[in-house]
Structure 1
Amino acid sequence: MLTWRKSALFVLVFVLSIAMIACGSKPQEAAKPADNATASGSAQANPLAGKKIALIMQINLGTFSAQYIEGVKEQVEKLGGTVTVNPADGDLAKMSSNLDAAINQKVDGILIDHGTAEALEAGVKRALEKKIPVVAFDADLKVPGVTVLEQGDAKMAEQTLEQLAKDINGKGNIVKIWVAGFAPMERRQVAYQAFQAKYPDIKEVAAFGAATQNTALDTQAQMEAILRKYPNKGDITAVWASWDEFAKGAARAIQQAGRTEIKVYGIDMSDEDLQMIQDPQNPWIASAAVDPKDIGRIQVRYLYQKLHGDETPEKVVLEPVFVSRDQLPKEQISTTELSKHVKGWGGSQQGYTDWLKQAENK
């Protein structure tokens, strides 16, 4: 009996020893505190990682818009965030609704692309009340606390119109393609009116333009009609297009009609636009623009400055550059290579801060 009790006691001690060893090993197995410390260090390095950003667009059309969106996404992702793109297909009521939806979804920040004060102001004010920062591009907004980017529209118009005047020796008949109702277009129109006053021997023989879901195609059809109305060489000397979608449509109509004595001067630049300008058979020979990817990147930088609590200006003017065919190589290039040939293109450091650069590297 005593022997049995000793044996039982030995087994009990053995089992308790195993249990104590097992319990003692758990803190080493679950080295969670060290992992959490690392995560905490990363959060301190980039406290704005994981932000949800909404991009509210009036219209998403053509390669310019596509490259602009690429710039937005690239910069947000570098800072550890995500972007939801909400285009309105030109419908301002839908744009306003998309803005309200983003606010209700409690996004961390809102980017706005174009739009009017009537459609956006109430929603933007509601976003600010809920502590959601807003940065707009080419939107007609004057709400305290909102930073608005623009492309230097007057300068872009001046650059292209002055080159047009120089090329035709200050005399000839031109077609203007322009549309009202967009803040950047209104600024370009002011420069156009100054151009008309400066060059009285340059006559506007036709003017048209509409922003549609098929702007380039619709412009092409309208330009074809104008060419039929003015069928003779010299009837039209040049075309000034205030948007690259207009320039694309006009250039295609002119080229297909064999009227390449008519030159096209545009505004904006995308990879597709650049290919057309480089084509020696294409009538589109020059454009003034800001890199659309840079626009997206810069807009995001100012939004993250707001998220960081930094003071930001109410208006940011982006510096445009003039691009003409004679600056470009014969081989096809993309806009990512354009800086090799055109000074000032791409790679803008505007809106960068030291802390933003550091946050990108984490």
Structure 2
Amino acid sequence: MNSFKSFLIILMTAALLVAGCANEQDRVARQKNNHPAGQIKSTSPAAASGEIPNKVNKPLKIAAITQLSIGTFSSQYIAGVTEQVKAFGGEVQVYNADNDLSKMASYVDTAVNQKVDGILLDHGRADALAPSVKKAVAAGIPVVSFDSDLDIPGVTVIDQDDYSLAWNSLRTMTQDLNGKGEIVYIWVGGFAPMERRNVIYEAFQKRYPHIKEVARFGNASSNTALDTQSQMEAILKKYPNKGDIDAVFAPWDEFAKGATRAIQQAGRTEIKVYGIDLSDEDLQFMQSLNSPWVATAATDPAEVGRLQVRFLYQKIAGESTPQVYSIQPHLVEKRWLPTDRKVSMKDIGKVINGWGQSDAGTSPWMKKLTEANKK
């Protein structure tokens, strides 16, 4: 059996143990039937007629509650949420729990008491949030969550297909290393997407035993990139010679930014960085002179926010939405980016085929609602 099939067996086993493969199987089935991933259409009467449902044809109050809002990925995600709610004529109140899950749960309770029209959750864990989210559902308030481990009937949970994100980045690193080398792994637990990405990393370690982890660190803070830079600088001093470290796997762009800065300032650009997530700032890092950040697997953070809002408005309108939905990720390599001009998130779709083109969570009336709320 070839190496790819062997890895797939490990991958499938790991995914089944942690989260199940129903969502991925659904995506693959749609592709086999020549339906691009993301094209899930509602079949409700409102969607069929194209008339704006009464429940959304008014200014709605939306609560967007985040576990931790740091870095440009988070800011672009929030920008996408705000943009889509405003386009639909609503208003959104953003609550940042500063990585305090009890505070995040209390914000959900606050939103329920304020009788908002809908709740958006960004990250969080079920053991802390489930009781409060169930209160929202019982109160008739629709909830859509992003990158959480919630499993509550009626609550739609979207994610970035973290298994594919991790494998795309790790596969690229493995190919570049020719299956052998010493790496640093930057990771932190306590976040559902990070836990899922770690599942793939652990499977990767078993599949490629000649790629050895020489150091591991990571933490989430108010300035994760700067903390990561300091920690990476210490690692470079511990391993001062060329060949001591071949690559860094950083499954969060805040980690990748910190590692990239440390490597550049130490003049150790023979060490390559492989990340996850993408933003305008990340693109600047990747396109900078002699940047060691050579590849990242990502989705469009602004489109994630817009998609989450669209699903929420469909729920408010009484339309059916999926229980789980994974967004199709993309691999972005530095060598694919033009060298004669800078690329931003606005025009990266011209470089990466299919970037930001999902029409998931759309209903015909959404276009009319947007037109009606243009000012």
- TM-score where L is the length of structure 2: 0.84
Q: 1:273 aligns with which of 282, 288, 293?
A: 282
Q: 2:247 aligns with which of 238, 241, 251?
A: 238
Query: How many Å apart are 1:341 and its aligned residue?
Result: 0.5
Amino acid at match of 1:171: K
Contact 1:45 / 1:359 at 8 angstroms: preserved in 2?
A: no
In the other structure, the counterpart of 2:311 is 302
Which ranges of structure 2 fall in alignment gaps of 5 or more residues? 1-50
Q: 2:261 aligns with which of 244, 252, 264?
A: 252
In the other structure, the counterpart of 1:337 is 347
Are 2:165 and 1:175 aligned?
Answer: no
Q: Deviations over 1:176-234 (max 9, x none)?
A: 01111111111111111121112111000011111111100111111011101100000
In the other structure, the counterpart of 1:354 is 364
Tell me whether 272-281 or 261-270 shows the greater mean CA deviation: 272-281
Q: Deviations over 1:281-314 (max 9, x none)?
A: 2111110000000000000000001000011111
In the other structure, the counterpart of 2:211 is 202
Amino acid at match of 2:362: Y
Query: How many Å apart are 1:168 and its aligned residue?
Result: 1.0
Amino acid at match of 1:354: P
Amino acid at match of 1:267: I
Amino acid at match of 1:58: Q
Q: Helix, strand or coil for the counterpart of 1:361?
A: helix
Distance (whole Å) between structure 2 residues aligned to residue 159 and residue 49 of structure 1: 42
Query: How many Å apart are 1:45 and its aligned residue?
Result: 7.6
Query: How many Å apart are 1:358 and its aligned residue?
Result: 2.6
Query: How many Å apart are 1:48 and its aligned residue?
Result: 3.2
Distance (whole Å) between structure 2 residues aligned to residue 57 and residue 47 of structure 1: 24
Distance (whole Å) between structure 1 residues aligned to residue 352 and residue 134 of structure 2: 40
> Structure 1 residues 81, 222: closer, same or farther in 2, change over 3 A?
same
Query: How many Å apart are 1:105 and its aligned residue?
Result: 1.1
Distance (whole Å) between structure 2 residues aligned to residue 48 and residue 195 of structure 1: 49
Distance (whole Å) between structure 1 residues aligned to residue 329 and residue 287 of structure 2: 19
What is the RMSD computed on CA atoms of the aligned residues? Answer: 1.3
Distance (whole Å) between structure 1 residues aligned to residue 57 and residue 118 of structure 2: 11
Query: How many Å apart are 1:247 and its aligned residue?
Result: 0.3
Distance (whole Å) between structure 2 residues aligned to residue 47 and residue 291 of structure 1: 26
Are 2:231 and 1:219 aligned?
Answer: no
Q: Helix, strand or coil for the counterpart of 1:349?
A: coil
Are 2:164 and 1:155 aligned?
Answer: yes
- TM-score where L is the length of structure 1: 0.87
Are 2:89 and 1:74 aligned?
Answer: no
Q: Deviations over 1:148-178 (max 9, x none)?
A: 0010101011101010011111100000011
Distance (whole Å) between structure 2 residues aligned to residue 259 and residue 48 of structure 1: 57
Higher relative contact order (CA 8 A, sep 6+): 2
Distance (whole Å) between structure 2 residues aligned to residue 360 and residue 353 of structure 1: 12
Distance (whole Å) between structure 2 residues aligned to residue 44 and residue 66 of structure 1: 31
Distance (whole Å) between structure 1 residues aligned to residue 213 and residue 87 of structure 2: 47
Contact 1:336 / 1:346 at 8 angstroms: preserved in 2?
A: no
Q: How many residues align?
A: 321
Q: Helix, strand or coil for the counterpart of 2:346?
A: helix
In the other structure, the counterpart of 2:127 is 118
Q: 2:174 aligns with which of 165, 168, 179?
A: 165
How is 1:288-299 mapped onto 2 (pairs within 5 angstroms)?
Answer: 288-299=297-308
Query: How many Å apart are 1:357 and its aligned residue?
Result: 2.5
Distance (whole Å) between structure 1 residues aligned to residue 52 and residue 93 of structure 2: 23
Contact 1:53 / 1:111 at 8 angstroms: preserved in 2?
A: yes
Amino acid at match of 1:89: D
Contact 2:52 / 2:368 at 8 angstroms: preserved in 1?
A: no
Query: How many Å apart are 1:46 and its aligned residue?
Result: 7.9
Distance (whole Å) between structure 1 residues aligned to residue 146 and residue 319 of structure 2: 19
Larger Rg computed on CA atoms: 1
Query: How many Å apart are 1:125 and its aligned residue?
Result: 0.5
> Structure 1 residues 221, 91: closer, same or farther in 2, change over 3 A?
same
Contact 1:43 / 1:49 at 8 angstroms: preserved in 2?
A: no
Amino acid at match of 2:182: N
